[in-house]
Chain A
Amino acid sequence: MTDVYPTRRTFLKLTAAAGAASVIAGPGRAGAQTATDPAKASDLLLHQDGPNQGKPVKASELKVGTAVWAVAVDPKTKKPRDATKGGVVLVKLASGKIQASSKPNAAGDIVAYSSVCTHQGCPAKEIGSIGQGTGNIICTCHGSIYDPADNATVLGGPAPKRLPALPIKLDGGGQVVAKAGFTGRIGPK
């Protein structure tokens, strides 16, 4: 039998991830960072599903009301730097909807965020069509709702914090690329 003996640090992480948004401030967790940045400036964004899977996301493909699920990849290797943390959700906002909090990281009306739900890590990659979720990014695991126009602030559900933004720009060919790394720590605490 192989048994897993997690350290106290992983135990705390587990508690916070699996529990109902419990927050345990502990030295073990403070400042914990991934060894590799899940995205860096100039990283390409490739479609993660749909008919264009594996192809770069073009600004012209984004439609108001539908999200695009992509993954950030190293332009040299075309591989994600961190497969579990490189997911990105791209949303085109209706004109005039973007708020000051989202502007610095946006490319016009297009915004991009980590698609790893901050609750338990399910993909937050869709635009909702029911109640408070309507027009916002939703996670279908437990119904967390993030406002794409307001820097992915949590509007509802169990998510304890917003999704980190991925600052983006358009390259010469109209492709969406990263302008910098994610603005915060990816995924559940």
Chain B
Amino acid sequence: MARLGALLAVGVSLLGLASAQMSAYSSVTDARLATPEAANWLSTRGNAMNWGYSALDKITPANVAKLSPVWAYSTGQTEGHEAAPIVNNGVMFVSAPMNKLFALDATTGTLIWKYERELPDDITSCCDVVNRGVAVYGDMVFMGTLDAHMLAFNAKTGKIVWDRTIEDYKKRYTITSAPLMANGHLVTGVHGGEYGIRGFLEAMDPKTGKSMWKSYTTMKGSYPNGAEAQGGAPTWLTGAYDAGSKTIYWGTGNPSPWMDPRRKTTDDLKWSSSLLAVDADTGKIKQGFQYSPNDAWDYDGVNEPVLIDTMVNGKSTKSVVTAHRNGYLYRFDRTGGGVKYLNAEKYVTVTAYKGLDASGRPIWDPQHRPDIGKQVNSCPSFLGGKNWHPVAYSPQTKLVYIPSNEWCMTIKGAQTKYAAGEAYVGAEFELNAVPNLNYVGNLQAVDPATGKQVWHQTFKAPLWGGVLTTAGGLVFTGTTADRDFVAFDAKNGKKLWSFKTNSGVIGQPISYSVNGKQYVAVFSGYGGAIPLWAGPMAQLTKDVPRGGVLWVFAVN
């Protein structure tokens, strides 16, 4: 049966216009994904190692003041716009909330084709109906959907090549982040940790959608009897791929529910709140590190693993670096495709733990660990020292740029029962500010090996957008309450330029070039989890207007 969605997409495929860009469309290969050309942005973070780095250097601290909009595109959606566009030889693919997908001429903003998904009536997602981006491979574009399908589009025409149901959306499985290409496998995670789903990663043949492997992320024996079946550990943010060791690094979220009287303190609830090293060809979980064993704070471990070499005392180590929800910046040794804890340093206020032991395991502070009926205050809040919004890494400065937030929460456990499709949280909570601090958002440049802060810029309201850094020596990110898209000097953090957009900026900025001209693009379109979950802290962004616009800038 022909899908209405597919017909729609073809209906607006402006084939005449498309031909010019599309005749030049270049197939995406594993080799191109492993070493993307500077001109292109082939995966949501620019490379499979999640750097958020562009090797383009035409826009610099010297000329960034002349950066101005060259085109803009309205998506017609008023929810949170968190996607990063993909650009391949002058063709841009960008997704919007409710699984809209647009193919645009990257120089003019002219629409080539579009797709608008006709989602079922009863979709529910805990944290807004976002989509964080798509993947490209061969001549295809891939998008996971809120009704837990994976769609493969013909990149040139927008026609759906295949459509696969990944899981049952009625159980609140959703897909909100881009799939990852790993050694020819199309890998997706799932979202739904607030509804008692069972997390997994699934790899597909990109040509057909046929399943190649599926690995669950909750482990029998590590949960109270049978609880692993609704145990959460969702895989809702895109991982990283290390082509050298053919290893996928992917984080997992909170256990479902947040607290559960059946749990013993010795139940680690593996692999919730963890970083997993997964064999790309078989899906086997080779090794893992659990950030928050027996988590009770909703400290998901999904935050993007960044694969870089770190240097300590002249010794370089193949590493995974990740700024985690619990407020620590972690460093792991990934030599040989494993994940071995090296060190972790606090990057925001942390009161939840007394500290970490030598193996990186948190030492609980009973005063700050909530339980059923036991109310505590802990920092950071469950929205994290950093949430989904990705850091950037510059191989020039060797610094990571972390869009962090300072906030705490009052939290206590509440009894809850699993019912398919219903919220399965088991907690009552309220966010609050860190006492005596006059800011929440804090963009920090940090040495990933030592955690030492090199510079920072603070903002009254929370940050919720990704970071981009460029070979031109710049750092770009957006703000929520101020609606600004801002450029900083990557070396010293000096604010060099800003532009007042239509809404709060929570997208992931990217850079690309066409015919030698460098562009920077970012979504402005406030929404996402803060207005839904931040309680009194959401007041800081209550006046931000809604509506999504993709902005593209250049120096003319």
Contact with A along B1-44 (1 / 0, CB 8 A): 10110000000000000000000000000000000000000000
Bound form: Cα–Cα A138–B425 in Å:
14
Knowing A15-B98, A20-B128, A120-B124 are in contact, say whether A4-B531 is a contact too (CB < 8 A). no
Which residues of the other chain, A, contact B183 by a CB distance below 8 angstroms? none
Interface size class of A (residues with CB under 8 A): 20 to 34
Judged by a CB distance under 8 angstroms, whether B118 is at the interface is yes
B423 touches A156 (CB 8 A): no
Given the complex, which residues of B lie within 8 Å of A130, measured CB to CB? 375, 410-412, 428-430
A57, chain B: closest CB distance, angstroms:
21
Residues of chain A with a CB closer than 8 A to B77's CB: 15
Set of chain A residues within 8 Å of B165, measured between Cβ atoms = 1
User: Given contacts A20-B531, A140-B425, is CB(A4)–CB(B1) below 8 Å?
Assistant: no
The reply to whether the CB of A53 lies closer than 8 angstroms to some CB of chain B is no
Q: Does A6 contact B (CB under 8 A)?
A: yes
**Could you say which residues of chain B place their CB within 8 Å of the CB of A133?**
428, 430
B414 sits at the interface (CB 8 A): yes
Q: How many A-B residue pairs have CB under 8 A?
A: 102
Are the CB atoms of B123 and A143 closer together than 8 Å? no
What residues of chain A lie closer than 8 Å to B120, measured between beta carbons?
4, 6, 14
> For residue B146, which residues in chain A have a CB less than 8 angstroms away from its CB?
18
What distance in Å separates the Cβ of A1 from its nearest Cβ neighbour in chain B? 7
Q: Is the CB of B532 within 8 A of A142?
A: yes
**Cβ-defined partner of B546 (8 Å) among A4, A22, A138, A142:** A22
Contact of B79 with A19 in the complex, beta carbons under 8 Å: yes
State how many residues of chain B have any CB contact under 8 Å with chain A.
44
When the two chains form their complex, are residues A129 and B428 in contact, meaning their CB atoms are under 8 A apart? Answer: yes
CA A157 – CA B100 in complex, angstroms? 27
- CA A135 to CA B538, docked complex, whole Å: 21
A101 at the interface (CB under 8 A from B): no
Within 8 A of B (CB), among A4-27: 4-6, 10-11, 13-15, 17-22, 24
CB-defined contacts of B535 to chain A, threshold 8 Å:
131-132, 143, 156-157
B119 touches A (CB below 8 Å): yes
Report the minimum CB–CB distance from B7 to chain A (whole Å).
Answer: 11
Contacts of A15 in B (CB 8 A): 77-79, 98, 129
CA distance A122 to B121 in the complex (A): 16
A18 lies within 8 A of B430 (CB): no
Q: For the complex, what is the distance from the CA of A143 to the CA of B538, rounded to whole Å?
A: 12
Complex contact B428–A18 (CB within 8 A): no
Complex Cα distance A142/B414, Å?
A: 14
Interface string of A19-48 (1 = CB under 8 A from B): 111101000000000000000000000000
Cβ contacts under 8 Å, B123 to chain A:
14, 18
Judged by a CB distance under 8 angstroms, whether B533 is at the interface is yes
Main secondary structure of the interface of A (DSSP, over half): loop
A158 to B126, CA, bound (A): 12
| Residue A94 interfacial (CB < 8 Å) | no
A28 to chain B, nearest CB (A): 13
A4 to B80 alpha-carbon distance, docked (Å): 25
**How near does chain B come to A161, taking the closest CB pair, in angstroms?**
15
- Chain B's interface: helix, strand, loop or mixed, by majority? loop
Flag if A20 contacts B527 (CB, 8 Å): yes
Determine if A61 is an interface residue (Cβ-Cβ < 8 Å).
no
How far, in whole Å, are A126 and B532 apart by their CA atoms in the complex? 18
0/1 interface trace, chain A 81-123, chain B, CB 8 Å (1 if under): 0000000000000000000000000000000000000001010
Q: Knowing A3-B1, A3-B4, say if A131 contacts B430 (CB, 8 Å).
A: yes
B52 touches A (CB below 8 Å): no
Q: Which residue of A13, A19, A22, A138 is within 8 Å of B428 (Cβ)?
A: A138
A128 interface hit (Cβ, 8 Å):
yes
A140 touches B129 (CB 8 A): no
For the complex formed, measure the closest distance between the CB of A139 and the CB atoms of chain B, giving whole angstroms. Answer: 9
Chain A residues with CB under 8 Å of B427's CB are 140
**B226 at interface, CB cutoff 8 A:** no
CB pair B97 A143 closer than 8 Å: no
A-chain residues with CB within 8 Å of residue B78 when the two chains form the complex: 15, 19-20, 22, 24
* CB within 8 Å of B: which A137-156 residues: 138, 140-143, 156
The chain B residue with its CB closest to the CB of A15 is B98
**B432 within 8 A of partner (CB):** yes
Contacts of B126 in A (CB 8 A): 141-142
Contact A4 B118 (CB under 8 A): yes
CB–CB A132/B430 < 8 A: yes
List residues of chain B with CB within 8 A of the CB of A24.
78
Closest residue of A by beta carbon distance from B422? A122
| B177 on interface, CB distance cutoff 8 Å | no
B442 near A: Cβ within 8 Å? no
Say if the beta carbon of B536 comes within 8 Å of chain A: yes
Does B125 lie at the interface of the complex (its beta carbon under 8 Å from any beta carbon of A)? yes
Contact yes or no, A11 B118, CB < 8 A: yes
Q: How far is the CA of A6 from the CA of B147 in the complex (A)?
A: 14
* Residue in chain A with minimal CB distance to B412: A130
Annotate B394-436 by CB proximity to A: 1 below 8 A, 0 otherwise: 0000000000000000111010000000110101111010000
Bound CA span A17–B423, Å? 15
Counting chain B CB atoms within 10 Å of each CB, which of A5, A11, A18, A128 scores highest?
Answer: A18
Q: Which residue of A lies closest to B80 (CB)?
A: A20
B118 touches A6 (CB 8 A): yes
Q: Mark B502-540, 1 if CB is under 8 A from A, else 0.
A: 000000000000000000000000011001110110100
Instruction: Identify the closest chain A residue to B547 (Cβ).
Output: A22
Query: A186 → chain B, closest Cβ, in Å?
Result: 16
CA distance A87 to B80 in the complex (A): 31
Instruction: Mark contacts of B112-143 with chain A using CB atoms, 8 A cut-off: 1 yes-contact digit, 0 otherwise.
Output: 00000011111111101100000000000000
Identify the closest chain A residue to B417 (Cβ). A49
A25 to B535 alpha-carbon distance, docked (Å): 26
Which residues of B have CB within 8 Å of A1?
1, 165
Taking CB as reference atom, which chain B residue is nearest A22?
B78
Tell me if B375 and A19 are in contact (CB < 8 A).
Answer: no
Inter-chain contacts of A3 with B (CB < 8 A): 1, 3-4
Report the separation of the CA atoms of residues A23 and B410 in the bound assembly, to the nearest whole angstrom. Answer: 31
CB-defined contacts of A4 to chain B, threshold 8 Å: 118, 120-121
Nearest residue, chain B, Cβ from A21: B531
| A46-B410 Cα distance, complex, nearest whole Å | 34
Q: Nearest 5 CB-CB pairs, A to B? A: A131-B430, A19-B79, A22-B78, A4-B120, A20-B527
Query: Can you offer 21 A-B residue contacts whose CB atoms are under 8 A?
Result: A4-B121, A14-B119, A14-B120, A15-B129, A18-B146, A19-B78, A19-B128, A20-B78, A20-B80, A20-B128, A20-B527, A21-B531, A22-B79, A122-B423, A126-B414, A129-B412, A130-B412, A132-B535, A141-B425, A143-B430, A158-B532
Q: Residues of A at under 8 Å CB distance from B?
A: 1, 3-6, 10-11, 13-15, 17-22, 24, 120, 122, 126, 128-133, 138, 140-143, 156-158
